[in-house]
Amino acid sequence: MSFGGYSGQAYSPAGDKGRFVLPPLFRKAVKESSDGRTLCLMKHPTWKCLTGFGLSRKDELEAQLDREEELAYRAERDFDRDTRASQLFGFTEMPFDDSGRFVMPEHLRTLGGIEDGLYFQGAGRFFTLWNPSELAEMGDDWASAKAACESFLADIKAKTK
């Protein structure tokens, strides 16, 4: 089966021992992309959230690096390939179990402002992982994601009553 990208939304509360759960929809896609159970996470370059993907994205990132270098050359701009490679390939690889449980390193929790839960938003080649309060601060073009996140949080609140 070929990798079809990341789509959809989900929410995962923080579990015991600092663990989170990769929801089934995203778990299946990461497994397809990684030929196994390896989740890659890094800080999004502009938003206060994390991005997640599987190992198959490494080839895509190498191609992106080549394109950016070529564009800089054509525009006669400086391009520091080493710095850009460090930015693109600075992700953390972490295993997850059959239930999708993984431990997020503290530095990623800090960079993403992650506290007691994760909202997952599919974005095609990757997915984003948000602290709901950080997502709520985004503009109107995030209305659909914010509504989905609010719905997940309301469902959890109703179940805990």
Model-level pTM? 0.88
CA 97 to chain centre: 18
Is residue 138 predicted with pLDDT exceeding 80? yes
Helix, strand and coil percent figures for the chain, each rounded to 5: 45, 25, 30
Rounded to a whole number of angstroms, the distance between the first and last alpha carbons of the chain is: 42
For residues 13-32, give the mean pLDDT. 90
What pLDDT does 90 receive? 86
Distance, in Å, from the CA atom of 58 to the CA atom of 71, rounded to the nearest integer, reads: 20
> pLDDT digit string (tens) for 88-97?
888 999 999 9
> Domains (ranges, CATH) in the chain?
9-56+93-160 (3.40.1550.20)
Question: Taking the alpha carbons of 95, 100, 106, 111 in that order, is the dihedral positive or negative?
Answer: positive
> pLDDT digit string (tens) for 33-89?
888 899 999 999 899 999 999 998 888 888 889 999 999 999 999 999 999 888 888
